[in-house]
Amino acid sequence: MKPSLVQNLSKDTFLDYYWLKTELQQFCRDSGMSASGSKEELTERIALFLETGKKSAPKRTSRKSGIKIPEPLSLQTVITDTHRCSQDVRAFFKEVIGPHFHFSTYIQTYFKQNVGKTYEDAIAAWHEEKERKKSPDYERQIGAQFQYNQFTRDFFQDPQNKGKTRQDAIDAWNKAKKTKGMQTYQESITN
């Protein structure tokens, strides 16, 4: 059974369970820490707190901190560690690639993992991904923070679940997320 998220919970026990982002944010607020950031950042912040008692600040700088995107945007604009997928950046990419451009998980990950490369490189990567999507074997990348989406995809790909409904997948997810150590669909069926 999933324990309550409280300040005397061990780090290892905390990391053994699935937590909603809202649960993580509430714990941070109740513990006097910032509740901003991604689910991964909140998890790291709480794990550090549970292990050491240290209250860490968010890793990312606030969008209100004055970080500006270099103007004007061009193919030679360099991707920085403070890159944001803003409306200005979206408009630039739509102008260059076309109205069908969107910030996919793939391209967002590309920006994070390719600091120092240029927008021209990112555009080439976007077109490469577009070509990969034409393959019948292609599966969209699901971000690590979207565990439910990955779980349900894996649930329906399991031949044992042929003919099962979306509600069956939801029921399996609700049961699995309360189980110690559950990270993936595969792990949930082996426990």
Could you tell me where the DSSP H helices lie in the chain? 11-15, 21-30, 39-52, 87-97, 105-113, 119-132, 147-157, 166-176, 185-190
Instruction: State pTM to two decimals.
Output: 0.54
The yes-or-no verdict on residue 118 having pLDDT over 90 is: yes
In 3D, which of 167, 76, 160, 91 has the Cα closest to residue 122? 76
Amino acid (one-letter) located at 182: M
Instruction: Give tens-digit pLDDT for 61-72.
Output: 444 444 555 568
- The Cα–Cα gap between 161 and 163 comes to 6
In 3D, which of 42, 112, 52 has the Cα closest to residue 82? 112
Instruction: Give tens-digit pLDDT for 155-185.
Output: 998 999 999 999 999 998 888 888 777 667 8
Position 88 scores a pLDDT of 92
Instruction: Give tens-digit pLDDT for 42-95.
Output: 999 999 999 999 998 887 544 444 455 556 899 999 999 888 889 999 999 999
